[in-house]
Structure 1
Amino acid sequence: MERFYCIVRRKQNMVAVMYVWTLGLLLYPGSYGNKETEHQTDICKHTLSCSECIQSHPSCVWCSAKNFTQGGESEGSRCSTRLELIQRGCDEEHLIDPKGLVQFLKDAPLSESADEDTVTQLAPQKVYLKLRPGQKRTFAVRFKRAEGYPIDLYYLMDLSYSMKDDLENVKKLGSDIQQVLHKVTKSVRIGFGSFVDKTVLPYVNTVKWHIQNPCPSRTERCQPPFSYRHVLSLTSNLTLFQQRVSAENISGNLDTPEGGLDAILQAAVCTDHIGWRNVTRLLVFASDDVFHMAGDGKLGGIYMPTDGRCHLNENGEYYQSNMFDYPSVGHLSQILTAANIQPIFAVTSNVLPTYQGLSELIPKSAVGELKEDSSNVVNLISQAYNNLSSTVNLQHVNLPKGIQISYDSHCPDSTTEGQPHGLCSGVKINQTVEFNVTLWMDENTCQDGLQRFKLRVLGFNEEINVDVEPVCNCDCKDQEVFSSYCSRQYGNFSCGICSCMDGYKGKHCECHQEKHDSNDGCIINGSLTCNGRGKCECGRCACNKNVRGPFCECDDASCERYEGQLCGGINRGVCNCGACKCNSNYTGSACGCSLDTSACSTPNGICSGHGKCECNKCVCDKGYFNKLCSDCPGCQTPCQEYSACAECKAFATGPLRNNCTLYCARVNVTMLKASEWSGKDKDGWCQEKGEDSLITFRVTEDGDLVHILVKEKQEIQDNIQQLILGLVLGIVLLGLTIIILYRITVEVYDRKEYHRFMKARSQEQWNDAQNPLYKCATTTVVNPNFTQE
């Protein structure tokens, strides 16, 4: 109780502290913020070849002009932005800036109907792209639903005992399903398969007689349990469908989950057994219970993961069921997507949420609520097919490493951009939708050779073949083998530079490595080799990036910055040996000052006639302010100018009370009592705030003299300040009063409860009488080795 009492008091104190803290925030609000400073960095790396340059950034360009580099500049300075290279003297002819491109190698027109010899719903069919690292290229993809597109429907049914009444209805629905789908297309084929579960404990009862007849009652006949059985391949013969399905019988198992995922996987990968065509593929999965998934097989001693292959024997049974574990949802989703199969989960209401969650993980799938006897399965299939077929989902397959992709979907009713796949819903027959597919390659991930992948709309067999050729190398037209430019044919010339043979180096391959190891020619006045900004080659300096000169003494990256950019950026100026060389319209040490005056212009002249324009900004004269120097609070009226003199001479207060004679020598002040000015004209009187009152006066100028009539003092009635002060004090007092009252009330209540508790303890009387039926237990232990004498 004492502990409880302490905890309550501690909480009350915390409440009071929180209230005061919150009150303080309300009365003394503060603002917090931070500023981010962005610094631009050089985008082009100091590369030593044209290929490395164009791979570093899509804005980087290589200059292939001979003798472009000057006085100690490294060949790496050839790599820069187009504007910078042009400013440095490289002409357009020698700028190497390869661009990507898009070509449609095959673009057949879209079909109106599936009755044509070749149905085309997706265009273009083959695309060729050239991609430079970091550079984006976009092409358009069109899709149009053709009328009467063929359908293959495979009905996969749970034959556990709880689906007994459903089986009877399925035996009759073959013609109904085909009749409904015939409204969409004339080419419909239907097949049938069934499943129960793995035939080992704990999934089924492995007692011999129970295996033979798993029905709950021995008087009822059921077929032995099985994992998955393919009953009928896809066919348009409805009579055969009804005969084969009618021959099926119900089965049974032990646990609640079924082996449905095993069955779906086998139905998807056993293409030859099922008879799938390259048309719309629907798999209707009917069940009234949940499913086993990867890992559940360990309960039956099955630990080997499924291999995703077809394992049906000549009787159509999954004979490897007891060897491989159930598939995972991710594996199953991958298999169904690769097989272009659209599953429709027809399940009862008790497991509907489970299959809705499963459907979210499987692209192009649908879920419908199945009645207990499957009587509504035809309508369910029809609705699910309409939803699936009206949804156009464009995705990529086997996208090469290093290539990124995004989709912009232009649907009939909406547009989405930058999505990981294209998606349009509610697409009608013969309605065309368009997707903009954007590709780009990560920087520094160039891979030689053609890269290939495919685009396809889920649920349809057509594909777009996309060939991507990375632009990783420069196509230089000046190649010379053993060029005379490279010092007596000691190297090959390409892209403006020499590639030296082994043992030679230098800009023109002019020196042998073994004979030119000295750094004497790269040192001046005892400094570091090349001033520590480069390396010595052939007795001459090869400087680092942005550094040049015979001894790398000139640094083109050490200039002042304006707004985080060197010399204000390329549009304002360039850094030339540590000093900014500004463009014609800028000046200043960092080219931060614009010579333009448009921002200072007003109808009344530059800076409203009250200032001068510096760096396209107004510098106002004394007393004037704002962007265009149009405001002047310091330009005083006579009332403002003489209020201090009126106060000091009339009342000996105010800012000039100690220097009144000095500053107010030409001012004469006359005091007026209330009786003297009550009837005077009220116009022309000034009223200014004094030190502790309102000063009311009238100014009259007479040459060099100023005459001031001052009225008697009036107390300042600053109602707003008093109101705010009173409101703040009222809030504080109210808050403290509430806290004190609350604290007193709780304290009194806690003390009463504590005294009541202590009183109850003191009055406790326990009955110590012993139960006459109770006998105390006794234990006797005898040591067998003890011998009592």
Structure 2
Amino acid sequence: MDITRSFSFILLLLSVIVAVSEAQTFNCTGSYCGECTIKGPDCAWCRQLNFTSMSRCGTVTQLMNAGCPSESIVRRKRSRVEILQADPLEDGGNGRESVQLTPQHVKVYLVPNEREYNNFSISYKVARNFPLDLYFLNDPSFTMRGLRTQLQQVAQSISDEINKTTTDYRFGLGTSMDKVALPFTRTAPTHKQNPCFGTSFLCDPPYSYIHRFSLSNNVPGFISAVNAVNLTANFDSPEGLFDGLMQAMVCGSKIGWRSKARRMLVYATDINFHMAGDGRLAGILPPNDGKCHLDASGMYTMAELQDYPSIGHLRKVAAENNVNVIFTIGGDTRSQEEINRIRTRYYDRLAAILPGAAATELTPTADNIVTIVSENYRRLRETVVLEVKDLDTTDIQAIRFFSSCYSDVPNEIATCTGLTVDRQVDFMVIIETNLQVCPAMRNLTFNIVPQGSEDRVQVDVEWDCDCDCEKEGQVTRAAEYCNRNGDLKCGICDCYTGWTGAFCDCDETKPEIEACSGGNSTEICSGVGECQCGMCRCENDDVSGKYCECDRTKCDIPSGKDERCGGQGQGVCDCNTCRCQGNYYGSSCQCNDDLCRNENGTICSDKGTCDCDVCRCTAGYAGRFCDRCTAANCTENPCSSQRQCVLCTAFLEGTLDQTACQEQCAHVEVVSVIDPADNFCRFLTGDGCYVEYTYDIVNGTLAAVRVRGTKVGCVEAANLTTIGVGIAGAILAIGVLLLIIWKLLTMLYDGIEYSKFEREVQNPTWERQENPIFKECVTTFQNPVHETNMNGTDTEKGMM
């Protein structure tokens, strides 16, 4: 079947759009044929031997102008479609399997940077005897008892009605109520045994969902299963049918869904539903896992352990399992207004989300169930909606469908309705891509399926990026042109291991790891170069050495400098390491010991070590050059050891006599002014005065002490006593004064209050005031239809 001409104008239009919107200049480059030809629609490869006029990759015009013969030019491949399976459309019946969609398997070869669209056609036709699986999921509450009665009575009528369109049908049954947990269901023992306790009805114990009858063409067996369903009940208003709906869709082997059949599920209730999140009311937090949890008896076992499924989850499962849900809303006790409100508010919205779903209303006696089933089956049967499934890649930009199912002119559409067994509809499938290079994954598969059906077109996609002259059959193995050391592919040599060069004449049989690593490394050319004919070719100017082992960028730049290792006079980079000059040292030659020398030329006063320009003093010493002893027991600390010399020399005080003072304190000098910036010392003497002095350290030895000739900060003891007595007396006087002021103020306030009291006693106005809580025993009312005249007499008002 060929429908290409009916869509030719569409492809022409799309080609024009692509030519205008995607016009660009392609740069034809590549080191081998396949890499070159995929760069653009005009790119080609010259396979002629010894072609050196230009690069082998270029446009056809460029290669021909450069002298490459036309027969040696390998042109770009075009995308194409191959039909692998195309069974004809078949109505089925009499042992034959129905076929509604053809072809069933195609393979599409795509080429990057393709400007033309890749397309193929598929056809769909309603089969006369396409299999139907019909499953009833009912609410077994008291208000839905009419549906059970009707199903018993009209099951054969439903069978007869469906038999008009297909002879291959099966029925199944399940009932669903709610989770057996408060607040959804009463959990008292009496109610768990009979949820209708307190009424005249004997009900089955409460349950969430029970699968009662697997899909079968045994109509009497189905009727018996319906008749065996007893009433049950829950506590709150909404029902938990979502649990049953999920299990009915995912438990395929237990329900009996056939792999190739239209699957219809009739969901019958008269109230709205619980959904994901409501389980928290009963402390049920784990989300629904969307897996089958039916025991041998068909009962759902995870109702009280998992939350209700979400609407999004149901939509995903319905699409994956191709189940078309029909919501039928009605009941014995609901008014038509209530039924309509529930349907429009809840189930119309829900049906709009689920694929192929619909919502309709039951009559109070449910006698229209036959019509509901037959009309919805006819609706699903006469409608085709094409969908793309299992396409998990960004390499394909879009898949578009065109059809003329509604008119003689094809339109971009994936849905056709009003189909009959005598009418075939054709679609053109167009695959759009935007890849400019060949993807890492050269093959992928997706499916085109009619919504709600197991029919499908399997589409295998292969990115055809290699030239034919690179494939087996056109490759010359161990070619003489390649010195028998490589294969000839598309005019160039593909050298065997151990050989390189344009003609595979460079012997690299010696292991590269040995030739280009010196045997001391596991990396060839240190990982930053290529081994060519046993020699390293480093990748950039910063890398050097026989094995590319030296990298200038590994040498640091000192702070405040612009060159690595500090530059001239400080250090130079010598194969990954700074080689310092003069007194500089450190990883980047950033350190110099000269900054640790004191004025006498010693490093850290021989009391520490120089750590990159900073003295690290030994214990008990401090200062920039470690020239000050700081330990508590340090006998050499001038601030403590020189106190007696300072006292005897400057003030003839202390424990040293004159002879000892002259012998031990010759280095002490009395001056009038000292510089506190020097090594400064200060201590308090017994007479309340401070003595100040400084000292010099030379080569770690105390050299001189300079003491101020006068004491400072002195305070006489007598003055101290006088000051102390004066302060105490002042505080006492202030306290006495405050007490006197307080006493005077209280006396004044008491006098004012007493005068006020005497005035109130002489003029008692409270006796003439009315008690606010006293109520007269006589109440006077004014007649609203009378009014009093000026003389005090009543005058009757006119009444309208």
Task: Sort the TM-score into its range (normalised by shorter chain).
Answer: 0.5 to 0.7
8 Å CA contact 1:157, 1:285 repeated in 2: yes
Cα 1:374–1:90, aligned 2, differ >3 Å: closer, same or farther?
farther
Alpha-carbon offset, residue 495 of structure 1: 2.3
Partner of 1:154: 135
Cα 1:426–1:45, aligned 2, differ >3 Å: closer, same or farther?
same
Q: Any idea what SS the aligned residue of 1:171 has?
A: helix
- Aligned counterpart for 1:173 among listed residues 154, 163, 170: 154
Partner of 1:321: 303
Give me the whole-angstrom Cα distance separating, in 2, the residues matched to 1:222 and 1:504: 87
- Aligned counterpart for 2:456 among listed residues 434, 459, 463: 463
Give me the whole-angstrom Cα distance separating, in 1, the residues matched to 2:59 and 2:363: 68
Per-residue CA deviations over 1:683-706 (Å, capped at 9, x if unaligned) read: xxxxxxxxxxxxxxxxxxxxxxxx
State yes or no: 1:255 paired with 2:236. Answer: yes
Give me the whole-angstrom Cα distance separating, in 2, the residues matched to 1:241 and 1:116: 24
Asked which structure has the greater CA Rg, the reply is 2
Partner of 2:391: 399
- Aligned counterpart for 1:66 among listed residues 45, 49, 53: 49
Alignment of 1:150-299 (within 5 A): 150-215=131-196, 217-277=198-258, 278-299=260-281
Alpha-carbon offset, residue 156 of structure 1: 0.7
Give me the whole-angstrom Cα distance separating, in 2, the residues matched to 1:169 and 1:88: 87
Per-residue CA deviations over 1:447-497 (Å, capped at 9, x if unaligned) read: 4565333333233333333333321322216634555545x5665442233
Alignment of 1:72-111 (within 5 A): 73=54, 75=55, 78-93=56-71, 94-111=73-90
Partner of 1:497: 492
Alpha-carbon offset, residue 232 of structure 1: 1.4
- Aligned residue identity for 1:46: T
Alpha-carbon offset, residue 58 of structure 1: 5.1
Alpha-carbon offset, residue 390 of structure 1: 0.6
Q: Any idea what SS the aligned residue of 2:153 has?
A: coil
Give me the whole-angstrom Cα distance separating, in 1, the residues matched to 2:162 and 2:185: 37
8 Å CA contact 1:131, 1:471 repeated in 2: yes
Q: Any idea what SS the aligned residue of 2:449 has?
A: strand
Partner of 1:131: 110
Alpha-carbon offset, residue 309 of structure 1: 2.4
8 Å CA contact 1:126, 1:466 repeated in 2: yes
8 Å CA contact 1:365, 1:388 repeated in 2: no
Alpha-carbon offset, residue 440 of structure 1: 4.8
- Aligned counterpart for 2:341 among listed residues 337, 342, 350: 350
Alpha-carbon offset, residue 426 of structure 1: 1.1
- Aligned counterpart for 1:439 among listed residues 413, 431, 439: 431
8 Å CA contact 2:438, 2:465 repeated in 1: no
Partner of 1:476: 469
Cα 1:294–1:81, aligned 2, differ >3 Å: closer, same or farther?
farther
8 Å CA contact 1:368, 1:384 repeated in 2: no
Partner of 2:96: 117
Per-residue CA deviations over 1:491-511 (Å, capped at 9, x if unaligned) read: 544223344567876655677
Partner of 2:319: 337
Partner of 1:52: 35
Cα 1:112–1:191, aligned 2, differ >3 Å: closer, same or farther?
closer
Give me the whole-angstrom Cα distance separating, in 2, the residues matched to 1:38 and 1:131: 20
Give me the whole-angstrom Cα distance separating, in 2, the residues matched to 1:370 and 1:344: 12
8 Å CA contact 1:454, 1:466 repeated in 2: yes
Question: Share of identical aligned residues, percent?
Answer: 34
What's the TM-score, normalizing by structure 1?
Answer: 0.55
Alpha-carbon offset, residue 405 of structure 1: 4.9
Alpha-carbon offset, residue 153 of structure 1: 0.9
Cα 1:97–1:254, aligned 2, differ >3 Å: closer, same or farther?
same
- Aligned residue identity for 2:283: G
8 Å CA contact 2:43, 2:75 repeated in 1: no
- Aligned counterpart for 1:310 among listed residues 265, 271, 292: 292
Partner of 2:556: none
Q: Any idea what SS the aligned residue of 2:133 has?
A: strand
Alignment of 1:262-661 (within 5 A): 262-277=243-258, 278-347=260-329, 348-353=339-344, 354-401=346-393, 402-414=395-407, 417-418=411-412, 422-443=414-435, 444-447=437-440, 450-476=443-469, 479-481=475-477, 483-486=479-482, 488=483, 492-499=487-494, 507-508=502-503
Cα 1:404–1:312, aligned 2, differ >3 Å: closer, same or farther?
same
Per-residue CA deviations over 1:114-163 (Å, capped at 9, x if unaligned) read: 34623222211222332223444211111111223332211111224443
How many residues were matched structurally? 483
Partner of 1:772: 772
Alpha-carbon offset, residue 201 of structure 1: 2.3
Using the TM superposition, name which of 218-227 and 379-388 deviates more. 218-227
Q: Any idea what SS the aligned residue of 2:469 has?
A: coil
8 Å CA contact 2:383, 2:419 repeated in 1: yes
Cα 1:390–1:147, aligned 2, differ >3 Å: closer, same or farther?
same
Q: Any idea what SS the aligned residue of 1:476 has?
A: helix
Give me the whole-angstrom Cα distance separating, in 2, the residues matched to 1:218 and 1:270: 36
Give me the whole-angstrom Cα distance separating, in 2, the residues matched to 1:106 and 1:155: 36
Is there any run of 5+ residues in structure 1 with no aligned partner, and where?
1-36, 514-534, 540-768, 775-789
8 Å CA contact 2:131, 2:262 repeated in 1: yes
Aligned-residue Cα RMSD (Å) equals 3.7
Q: Any idea what SS the aligned residue of 1:306 has?
A: coil
Partner of 1:42: 25
Give me the whole-angstrom Cα distance separating, in 1, the residues matched to 2:66 and 2:241: 71
Is there any run of 5+ residues in structure 2 with no aligned partner, and where?
1-19, 330-338, 509-529, 536-768, 775-800
Using the TM superposition, name which of 333-342 and 278-287 deviates more. 333-342
Greater RCO, CA 8 A, separation 6+ = 1
Cα 1:95–1:392, aligned 2, differ >3 Å: closer, same or farther?
same
Per-residue CA deviations over 1:53-95 (Å, capped at 9, x if unaligned) read: 344445543333334443xx5x4xx444445544554444222
Give me the whole-angstrom Cα distance separating, in 1, the residues matched to 2:340 and 2:308: 24
Q: Any idea what SS the aligned residue of 2:274 has?
A: coil
Per-residue CA deviations over 1:177-206 (Å, capped at 9, x if unaligned) read: 222212222333222111011212232222
